[in-house]
Structure 1
Amino acid sequence: MSRNDSETPAAARNLPSLLSGLHAERRSCTVAVSGTPGGTLHVRDGLVVALETPGAPGVEAILLKSGRLTEEAWTSVRATDTTHERLARELVSGGLLGAGELEVVSLAALFDAAFALSLNRPTNWEVGEPVPVLYGGTGVPPERLVAETTRRFGLLAAEPGSIARSARDRVHPTSAAALPESTAGLPPRHQALLSAADGRRTPRDLAFALGRGLFAVLLDLRHLLALELVQYTAPAGAAVRPSTAPRTPGSDAPPAPATTALPRRLPRRTGHQPAAADSPERRP
């Protein structure tokens, strides 16, 4: 346990509880979360301002892949601030982004990263000193972050199979997707998603490729699945466990459907603890 970890609220039993304690103390810090996918929460004066995770695109990836910002412009601004400490200010003052636009993108990336982080339970966390990070706005209180994550799980609860498994399976276009009459009425974002689904990409890969949030991609894929234009296929040997971090295979029984209480069902811990064997959908 690090020196900073020993200063966290003693009653912290899971991440929401930890963040609530940090909010009450108006702490500024980082919370490094281990697991699949894991990530880093950035807290300023008790508010969560950013969350970086390999499970979902961050602000930089969204701005670049969506075309809101060119590679040349990003490289130029990035060269003036290698720490990200003043990067948001430079983007706005240079006229590359509006302050409101950057705030919207930052908030959307934060909520999406929280959703991605909640797909599997963490194995550990460690609280450290604050570090510079790109974000716009003032941040959100922990209860709002938890409420939004719960809402998103609820919207996807009717999806066939578990939410976490759908997020890591590969997406294949069906034969119907090649028929012009089947795709003629699709909106542009569905057309782009269908074109990017090449049978090798997972929803996470599609989110990074298109500069969109993972949650939004999963919602659109559910619509395309209902139209029988796409199908999910689990990677070989990874039908049950997350493909991003292989573990010892367990039971062959399919996981139970996800519930809306997932974000609050993280394991009780205040320090290091062995990795859990079950995904959040299979928790009792």
Structure 2
Amino acid sequence: MTSPSGLPVPVGASAALHLLQALARVPAERLSGTLTVTGYPGGVFHLREGSVMAVESPGAPSVATILLATGRITEGQWAAGSGALAPESLARASVGPATLHAMQAMVTLDGAFAVAAGRIDEVELIEGEPAAGWDPAHGVEPGVLLGEAERRLRALALSRVPICPFGDRPLLAGPVAACANRARREVLEKVNGRRSCRDIAFLLGRGLYVTTMEVAGLLAEGMVSLPEPPGEDPPRDGAAPDVHAAALPRRSRGASGINRPEVVRATFRPPFQARMRIPEKGPIEPDEAPE
């Protein structure tokens, strides 16, 4: 199923359809302003003259978060800039215009992935003047942004053990020292059963997508595992019991073979509906602040 603009639309996801329709208007009408997506984790698309200049989401690290987490700028330098990336702070961190542009583009793509990988409830487009400091030449076309988000969701859904970047909290299943890959070993050092891929990305100062795929690889190698899903929730007050569900036999985890690669590939859903365990509600809060 596609929208009038030709963009892919997940069947039955009206809010996601509204997001696609709103983004399709951006280049056609050369819109400026903000496109706010309410959901889990949600986010804000900053628009300027038909391009997406940035996507800010609580589900993905910002440029400032990455610089702080990696030690390229200090808390004092951040405070001296009044909570902004002041030119003098960037100069101390050896971040030139080209590097900053590359980081902003990476964060924009990562923010769009975070929004698409979560739950989309409402979409609000407010036209107006964009925030200062963004060069229109450095924007990302909405079609390119959506295409990359789709590619990333598809890659994650087709991994051997799909994982939710926000809801799943992996556990160590092997010794950290046994991992020869430095990048994955650094991820393993942050795995403790309480942190999601999103939390680990914030702690390490890495992109959400890159971190999530690293964890998916560690899952496939047996270095980490996912906890057993919780038992059935008790029926809500006043809710009628599910007679059909009560009559179904219980099955052990893995008995259906749903996690086998060929089954995951056969049951892949369109963008914004990849098979992930998405929390139903609640704000995203990191279990621990970035170090």
TM-score, normalization: structure 2?
0.69
How many equivalent pairs are there?
234
1:49 pairs with one of 49, 53, 66: 53
SS at match of 2:189: helix
Q: For 1:210 and 1:133, how far apart are their aligned partners in 2?
A: 29
Change in 2 beyond 3 A, CA 1:149/1:134: farther
Residues 6-63 of structure 1, C-alpha deviation per residue, up to 9 Å, x if partnerless? xxxxxx9432221121221111101111111111110011100111111111111111
Change in 2 beyond 3 A, CA 1:72/1:44: same
The reply on whether 1:70 has 2:74 as its aligned counterpart is yes
Q: For 2:62 and 2:165, how far apart are their aligned partners in 1?
A: 21
Greater Rg by CA = 2
Q: Which amino acid aligns with 2:214?
A: D
**2:213 alignment counterpart:** 219
Q: Superposed, which structure 2 residues align to 1:183-262 within 5 Å?
A: 183=179, 185-186=180-181, 188-233=182-227, 236=230, 259=268, 261-262=270-271
**1:172 alignment counterpart:** 171
Calculate percent identity across the aligned residue pairs: 32
CA contact under 8 A between 1:207 and 1:214: conserved in structure 2?
A: yes
Q: For 2:107 and 2:79, how far apart are their aligned partners in 1?
A: 21
Q: For 2:191 and 2:144, how far apart are their aligned partners in 1?
A: 33
Q: For 1:230 and 1:133, how far apart are their aligned partners in 2?
A: 44
Alignment gaps of 5+ in structure 1: 1-11, 240-249, 264-278
CA contact under 8 A between 1:64 and 1:70: conserved in structure 2?
A: yes
Q: For 1:217 and 1:24, how far apart are their aligned partners in 2?
A: 34
Q: For 1:172 and 1:96, how far apart are their aligned partners in 2?
A: 36
1:15 pairs with one of 12, 15, 19: 19
Q: For 2:186 and 2:129, how far apart are their aligned partners in 1?
A: 38
The reply on whether 1:32 has 2:30 as its aligned counterpart is no
Alignment gaps of 5+ in structure 2: 1-15, 234-241, 252-257, 277-291
Q: For 2:36 and 2:231, how far apart are their aligned partners in 1?
A: 29
Q: For 2:46 and 2:110, how far apart are their aligned partners in 1?
A: 15
Change in 2 beyond 3 A, CA 1:259/1:14: farther
Change in 2 beyond 3 A, CA 1:153/1:88: farther
SS at match of 2:226: strand
Residues 119-153 of structure 1, C-alpha deviation per residue, up to 9 Å, x if partnerless? 13411111224453776762101010011111112
Q: For 1:140 and 1:212, how far apart are their aligned partners in 2?
A: 20
**1:98 alignment counterpart:** 96
TM-score, normalization: structure 1?
0.71
Q: Which amino acid aligns with 1:33?
A: V
CA contact under 8 A between 2:42 and 2:115: conserved in structure 1?
A: yes
